[in-house]
Amino acid sequence: KDPTSLESFSKELTGSQKQSISKLSSLAEIQQQQTPKVVPEPSWDDLRFVAFHTSIPFVGFGVMDNAILILAGDAIDYNLGVWLGITTMCAAAIGNIVSDVAGVLLGTAVEDFCANTLKLPVPSLTTAQRQLRSVRFANQIGCAIGLVVGCVIGMFPLLFLDVERTHALKKEVALDKLFQDVVKEAGSLVGAQRTQLYILCHKPKQETEK
């Protein structure tokens, strides 16, 4: 323990002895680093808290994603779907692209809202505990549950959308196209320069009172 005696001892060592001592100390440090540290497993309460803490932001993501998907898909189906003739599934796919882009752009706002406004407490886990399989699995379960709950809540625009409006407009456009094709083909068959189509509509017979 006396620094003077250690200094005098080091002076008495030869160069090869000093190299051997240096190698032994290096090997001891490597073995100490490679020795696996026992990380304590979190309790069930901690894992449930981790899942709950992770699920809250994904509820917001699910609400935003599904609501934007439905609103954008309906708007695209009503406008582009009718006039360009794209299918409802194609309109839904385009709406999904819009909702995904909105989710990426607004993701930081959702995270800031959960952290600053809601002020959710952070689970008291060490860095080593956060790398455990159980903690990562709890994170995944929380993400899945939050996303499902958010997507179910995000279906609320279906309560206000007029689905029959789009179908009626598509039928009207299809009938107009059919009538135009009929007039065009009839004119080409008879060699007429101008053709008109008259449609006779019968009113339904009223039932006589007994």
Which pLDDT value is given to residue 189?
Answer: 76
Q: Are the C-beta atoms of 65 and 150 separated by less than 8 Å?
A: yes
Residue environment code for 191-201, b if the CB has 16+ CB neighbours within 10 A, otherwise e? eeeeeeeeeee
Task: Check: pTM over 0.75? Answer yes or no.
Answer: no
pLDDT score of 86: 76
For 158-181, the pLDDT digits (tens) are: 888 877 776 676 777 777 777 777
* Average pLDDT in the chain: 77
User: Of residues 31 and 142, which shows the higher confidence score?
Assistant: 142
Residue 3 has pLDDT above 60, yes or no: no
- Is 88 buried (19+), middle (13-18) or exposed (0-12) by CB count in 10 A? middle
141: pLDDT strictly greater than 90: yes
Q: Encode pLDDT of 19-77 as tens digits.
A: 666 766 766 666 655 555 677 788 888 888 888 888 888 898 899 889 999 998 888 88
Neighbours of 145 (CB within 10 A): 17
How much is the pLDDT for 9? 57
Contact 57, 110 (CB under 8 A): yes
Tell me: the pLDDT tens digits for 57-72? 889 889 988 999 999 8
Residue 2 pLDDT more than 50? no
The alpha-helical segments, DSSP class H, found in the chain are: 3-12, 15-34, 44-84, 88-112, 127-130, 133-153, 163-190
pLDDT digits (tens, 9 = 90+) for 89-111: 888 888 889 888 888 888 778 87
Confidence of residue 1 (pLDDT cuts 50, 70, 90): very low
Place of tokens 């959960």: 114
Q: How many CA atoms lie within 13 A of 170 on its CB side?
A: 17
87 or 61: which leads in pLDDT: 61
* Cβ pair 157, 67 in contact under 8 A: yes
Amino acid at 52: F
For the cut 50, the answer to whether the pLDDT of residue 124 exceeds it is yes
What is the per-residue pLDDT for 140?
92
